[in-house]
Amino acid sequence: MDFISDPPIAVKIQKMQQRVRWQHPEILARGIDQTQLVVDDGESDDPEFSFLVIGDSGSGAHRSHNPQRKIAEMMLERMQGCRFLLHTGDVIYLVGSQEYYYRNFIEPYREFLFGGEQPRTIGFDQMRFKLPFLTVPGNHDYYDLPLLYGLLAQTTLPIRYLLRSKIDLDVGLRGSQQGKVYAQAFLDYLLRFKTSAELARHLDEHYTAQGSAGKCLRYQPKVFTRQPNRYYQFRYGGIDFFALDSNTFSVPLPLSAGEAGKAQRQILEQRRAKVQQEQVELVQRSMQLNANSPDEAEQLDDCRTKLEQLEEIEKDITKQLQADSSEPVDTDQLSWLTQRLIESWQNQAVRGRVLFFHHPPYVTEATKWHQGQTLAVRQRLRLALDQVAVAVDHQQRPVVDLVLNGHAHCFEHLQTGDTGGGDAYTNWLVCGGSGYSLRRQRPEGAEIWEDGLDGQERLMARSRLFVGRSGQGSHKRRPYSFLRIDVQAGSPPRFVVRPHVAERYQHEWLEQSLPSFKI
């Protein structure tokens, strides 16, 4: 049904570079590194600190409840001692529209915002955070609504009823404008300066911190809380954090050549036709439900959940069918990650490394584990980490100590075994259940197998904990989640992961803190 469109990778890269005035002469003249920031929060550089993690949160109120707001309230009660918050992407659903930033972000997180006691006075492009709120873009933060749908959604009553009232899809009119709205909300949107003099004054005021590769942006809570780029690095408590934009290296790998490729294509085309038919049937079924009935209202929420899920699956299948070797991949970002990780390992002041980005390379959530994008991110990240592993002596330690992802609507802890690559023996936390629709674990189980170079299947990863939707009918459980992570002193660092859950069950909220675990 194609309710949403996704810009090509080359467009995403080009537009984002324009928005931050990538390598502008005024920036080069000052020796500014546009991929680094320093968190200037007035706190001591203590090796023991805590932070929060959320992801895939950007929905408004459901028919009878607001999961995102519930999670925000729980975070406020459990954030004592936390130095910052990481968001793993999909800040705004469904298409990153600026019209939904108030309802889907500013209002639910108002206590985290400077001036949040009057949230309606805060523009989406004027936010300042009390606690550092560090984000990466998700796929929905880049999505747009096809122009025809946008016009119909605003002007034609039956379509508005379908898209916005009945199923309550937060589609907006223009979508994300190829990621522009996300950039205006969270990045240092240098394109707004019309003259070189204005740009120079801004750079001299805010790019005064010293990073590993020159001057860099100074992130100051309540004062200036912008990120320099769609991907960036910062150091806290001796840990290097690397924020990535996985949207530009998630394009599926091309199908196999010859008869094998033809068979793959046929299977994908049949699967896509089935998904499209399911979408039609779902819309028809939703029109029979009464939003004023509590039980049927939750069924309408389920319809929205399923429709968005099917749309995601359809887009992934289409990307697999269209993939070819000429499709550009963000090699510049991956090369940057490789080089910065090598430099991090060579710096004795750094005791650990954490990556966070949207698309999980390893996951057992039912709709994501087999997607072409999942497999593509896994392979490309592994190749980058392979190069790091060759270049440094990591003394049997993982190349990175922890990876945080979203995209899969659940909480999951996975560990890789001997993958044969630089992603071996790594801990992966998927935190994508903080407000939007939740998903189930796949029926295939907790172990992820993959064909090795020798043609033999090998166990690549195992899921240690999965928190997602379960049950059926009136016994359906929806456990929304966020993480508090306590970082301990020492090298390598140890992380104490504390999952917190707000479960929606039979129209009531049940709060619980799951047992913590150390990684």
Please tell me whether residues 307 and 160 are part of one structural domain: no
Quick one: pLDDT at residue 158? 38
Residue at 3 is within a domain: no
Please tell me whether residues 57 and 158 are part of one structural domain: yes
Q: What angle do CA 262, 266, 270 make, to 5 degrees?
A: 170
pLDDT over threshold 70, residue 446: yes
Domain count, the chain: 2
The pLDDT tens digits of the residues spanning 133-186 come to 999 999 999 999 775 454 444 444 333 334 444 445 666 667 899 999 999 999
Quick one: pLDDT at residue 451? 81
Full domain range(s) for residue 296: 260-322
CATH number at residue 393: 3.60.21.10
This prediction has a pTM of 0.91
pLDDT band at residue 471, thresholds of 50, 70 and 90? very high
Please tell me whether residues 314 and 327 are part of one structural domain: no
Whole-number Cα distances in Å, 256 to 173, 248, 253, 326, 466: 39, 22, 9, 15, 33
Q: When comparing pLDDT for 196 and 311, which is higher?
A: 196
Residue at 381 is within a domain: yes
Please tell me whether residues 405 and 416 are part of one structural domain: yes
The pLDDT tens digits of the residues spanning 115-133 come to 999 999 999 999 999 999 9
pLDDT band at residue 282, thresholds of 50, 70 and 90? confident
Please tell me whether residues 265 and 233 are part of one structural domain: no
pLDDT band at residue 334, thresholds of 50, 70 and 90? very high
Rounded Cα–Cα distance for residues 407 and 413 (Å)? 14
Residue at 1 is within a domain: no
> For 290-312, what is the mean pLDDT?
75
Quick one: pLDDT at residue 383? 97
Mean pLDDT of the chain: 90
Give the residue from 297, 322, 347 where a domain finishes. Answer: 322
Please tell me whether residues 54 and 133 are part of one structural domain: yes
Please tell me whether residues 311 and 437 are part of one structural domain: no
Please tell me whether residues 278 and 172 are part of one structural domain: no
Give the residue from 322, 345, 360 where a domain finishes. Answer: 322
pLDDT band at residue 62, thresholds of 50, 70 and 90? low
Rounded Cα–Cα distance for residues 109 and 68 (Å)? 9
Q: When comparing pLDDT for 177 and 473, which is higher?
A: 177
Residues 401 and 352 sit within 8 Å (Cβ to Cβ): yes
Please tell me whether residues 197 and 186 are part of one structural domain: yes
The helix/strand/coil state of 369 is: coil
Please tell me whether residues 69 and 103 are part of one structural domain: yes
Residue at 465 is within a domain: yes
Quick one: pLDDT at residue 277? 87
Quick one: pLDDT at residue 28? 97
Give the residue from 272, 290, 322 where a domain finishes. Answer: 322
Residue at 242 is within a domain: yes
What pairing do the DSSP bridges indicate for beta strands 352-356 and 402-405? Answer: parallel
The pLDDT tens digits of the residues spanning 216-262 come to 999 999 999 999 999 999 999 999 999 999 999 999 988 877 887 78
Please tell me whether residues 123 and 216 are part of one structural domain: yes
